[in-house]
A and B are shown apart, each in its own frame.
Chain A
Amino acid sequence: MANNRRRRLESNNVPVGAYSPWLLIAILALLGGMTWVYYRNQLVRRGESIGRMEKELVELGRKNEALRGRIAQLSTYSALQKACNEGTIKMVKILPASIVHVDFPRRAGGNEIRAVSNEGGVANR
Chain B
Amino acid sequence: MNKTAKVRAIIACFGLMCCFTGFSARLVYLQVDQHEKFERLAAEKHVKKQPIIAGRGEIRDVNGELLAANEPLNTVVADGSVIASGKVAPGEIAGLLSDLLKIPKAELAKKLDTQRKYVVLKRSVTEPDAAAINGRFKEFQYRTKKPVRGIFFEPDTRRVYPNNEVLSHVLGFMGQKRIEGDGAEETERMGVEGIERSMDKWLRGYDGFRYIERDRTGKEIVPYRGQERTARDGYNVRLTIDMRLQHIVETELDDLYKRYRPEFTTAIMMDPKTGRILAMANRPCFDPNDLSRGKSEISPEKMKNCAVINIVEPGSVFKIVPVSAALNDNLVTLDTIIGINGGRWDYGGKILKDHGHGDHPDLSVFDVVVHSSNIGSAKLGLKLGDQRFYEYVRSFGFGERTGINLPGEVSGIVHSPKSSGWNKLTLARMPMGQGVSVTPIQMVTAMSVIANGGKLMMPQIVDSVVDNDGKPIVNFDPVPMRQVVSSDAAAKLRSALKEVVSKRGTAFAATIPGYSAGGKTGTAQIAKPGGGGYYDNRYVTSFVGFFPVEDPQVVCLVMVDDAKATETQNYGGLIAGPAFSHIGEQTAHYLNIPPDPQPAPQAIAKLTKSDR
Residue positions of A touching B, CB distance < 8 A: 43-44, 46-48, 50-51, 58, 62-63, 65-66, 68-69, 72-73, 75-79
Contact = CB atoms under 8 A, between A and B. Distances in A.
B155 A66 contact: no
B223 A66 contact: no
Nearest first, the 9 A-B pairs at minimum CB distance are: A47-B222, A62-B72, A72-B162, A72-B66, A73-B162, A47-B223, A66-B127, A77-B247, A69-B69
B69 A62 contact: no
A47 B160 CA distance: 35
Contacts of B70: 65, 69
B587 interface: no
A60 to B, nearest CB: 11
Given A47-B221, A50-B222, 18 more contacts: A43-B223, A44-B222, A46-B222, A47-B223, A48-B222, A51-B220, A58-B155, A62-B72, A63-B72, A69-B70, A69-B160, A73-B162, A75-B162, A76-B162, A77-B163, A77-B166, A77-B244, A79-B162
A99 B99 CA distance: 53
8 contacts: A43-B223, A47-B222, A62-B127, A63-B72, A66-B127, A69-B69, A72-B65, A77-B247
A50 B220 CA distance: 11
A41 B397 CA distance: 72
Contact of A77 (B71, B126, B128, B243): B243
Nearest to B220: A51
Contacts, number: 58
B127 A63 contact: yes
Interface string B123-159: 0001110000000000000000000000000010000
Contacts of A44: 221-223
Contacts of B66: 68-69, 72
Interface in B42-86: 55, 65-66, 69-72
Interface of B: 55, 65-66, 69-72, 126-128, 155, 160, 162-164, 166, 220-223, 243-244, 247
Contacts of B127: 62-63, 66
Contacts of A69: 66, 69-71, 160, 162
Nearest to A42: B223
B166 A78 contact: yes
B221 A66 contact: no
A13 to B, nearest CB: 15
Nearest to A67: B127
Contact of B69 (A43, A65, A75, A77): A65
Contact of A78 (B65, B126, B163): B163
Contacts of A51: 220, 222
Contacts of B222: 44, 46-48, 50-51
A101 to B, nearest CB: 13
B538 to A, nearest CB: 32
A58 B244 CA distance: 34
Contact of B126 (A47, A66, A76): A66
A69 to B, nearest CB: 5
Residue among B155, B166, B222 with most chain A CB within 10 A: B222
A50 B155 CA distance: 20
Nearest to A49: B222
Contacts of A68: 66, 69
Nearest to B72: A62
A75 to B, nearest CB: 8
Contacts of A47: 221-223
Residue among A75, A76, A79 with most chain B CB within 10 A: A76
Contacts of B163: 76-78
